Structure 1
């Protein structure tokens, strides 16, 4: 399949009999991008400015969009997402790829890098964390509660804490999509300062991951970070309510030789709030990680 209007090519393969859709655009070293959620449509993560420097491969994670669904809802685990990611990497045929994981996609990226270090040229951990659990979620919920105080002049902000709880309780894909669109401002330092985000918000789609991202035990790879010898960039926004500087700093301190960048005017979506700074950071990192690159 091909989408010539945007210069993006759409492909599908089958992994363990399940359809995996991904999209390719750009030129240069291959960078596979795994979106977050889990369950958020991939389009929000597209970064056209990076496509001028990298061959960007955007996955539609299994269980979302045009990709297939798993027969057993209990199978939506990190190892499953990583298995489908590996299938795409294998199909691309590149010896090594850069891997960009956003939010929950960053959990997948960490798991993949630990399991397949020989296939990763560089790791871009975008607004993510090496650990979840009670402390992680308590911190996020405290930031949600403080959101109206940060935006006292915005009437919409006052309802965000209640709306966030509604999103957590959504029982259908349609309800989840509606709730996610409503709470989207939480994910920005100042959503209302960016009029260009309105179409993205209106078109955002989401599918409920039956496991809601939960694993048999909370995600925690802190003890394994020191074994990551892959060039790594940890990047987040200073105002990210869920995966902010504390968690990116933890990644940076745990992964030898890693870089840390905190963008001062961003929340969870640096690539949309500070696109030039985000693109420059990723481009500089990938260029420095490729021997002989200029």
Structure 2
């Protein structure tokens, strides 16, 4: 094969990018039409609790009730737009990490020691990978210059609900240390 010129390579890259963008637009259009209808509020609460098993039942019920609306055809649906989830497919990991490297302000990343449980619901292939998960989290936090990392024991993905007192104290301690006035 003959080597291709930088101009030809740029044209190929642009064509591939255009195809990718078209696929993402189609996915966004499909998601907008495929909003899931749940039978009733109790089903929504159960689904929310199943997705966040560490979350206190009363808090899960309150959040679920705040997050649903009557569906036109009956039942209920989530108020949030499912297309918002598409943001994760618009950035590559490299792009996301480049953005993390640009953060220059004082930063505190607070996570729960049981945060992997949430991701296992969507990615069961991560089962048994707690150490790898922790290493990857530490690597990503290290991309932010000077970032402080706090892991709250026993808290899951929704750390601010799972351990509200410990979370609040960690934030207060960080803010006090960052601004000693």
Are residue 234 (structure 1) and residue 123 (structure 2) matched? no
Q: Who is 1:285 aligned against?
A: 174
Residue 273 of structure 1 deviates from its aligned partner by: 1.2
Q: Is contact 2:35-2:82 (8 Å) kept? A: no
Residue 200 of structure 1 deviates from its aligned partner by: 1.5
RMSD: 3.6
User: 1:225–1:207: structure 2 CA closer, same or farther, 3 Å change rule?
Assistant: closer
- Unmatched 5+ residue regions in structure 1? 1-73, 78-167
Structure index of larger Rg: 2
- Which is helix-richer, 1 or 2? 2
1:116-143 per-position Cα deviation (integer Å, ceiling 9, x unaligned) = xxxxxxxxxxxxxxxxxxxxxxxxxxxx
Instruction: Report the TM-score when normalising by structure 1.
Output: 0.35
- Give the number of the structure with larger relative contact order, counting CA–CA contacts within 8 Å between residues 6 or more apart: 2
1:162-185 per-position Cα deviation (integer Å, ceiling 9, x unaligned) = xxxxxx99922754x967643323
Q: Distance in 1 between matches of 2:44 and 2:134?
A: 23
Q: Who is 1:272 aligned against?
A: 161
Q: Distance in 2 between matches of 1:266 and 1:242?
A: 14
Q: Is contact 2:109-2:141 (8 Å) kept? A: yes
Q: Who is 1:212 aligned against?
A: 85
Residue 285 of structure 1 deviates from its aligned partner by: 1.1
- Unmatched 5+ residue regions in structure 2? 1-24, 68-78, 121-132
- Which is strand-richer, 1 or 2? 1
Q: Secondary structure of the equivalent of 1:236?
A: strand
Q: Who is 2:150 aligned against?
A: 261
Alignment of 1:127-206 (within 5 A): 171-172=34-35, 174-175=37-38, 181-188=45-52, 190-191=54-55, 194-205=56-67, 206=79
Q: Distance in 1 between matches of 2:153 and 2:147?
A: 19
Q: Secondary structure of the equivalent of 2:157?
A: coil
Alignment of 1:62-141 (within 5 A): none
Instruction: Report the TM-score when normalising by structure 2.
Output: 0.52
Residue 238 of structure 1 deviates from its aligned partner by: 1.5
User: 1:173–1:289: structure 2 CA closer, same or farther, 3 Å change rule?
Assistant: farther
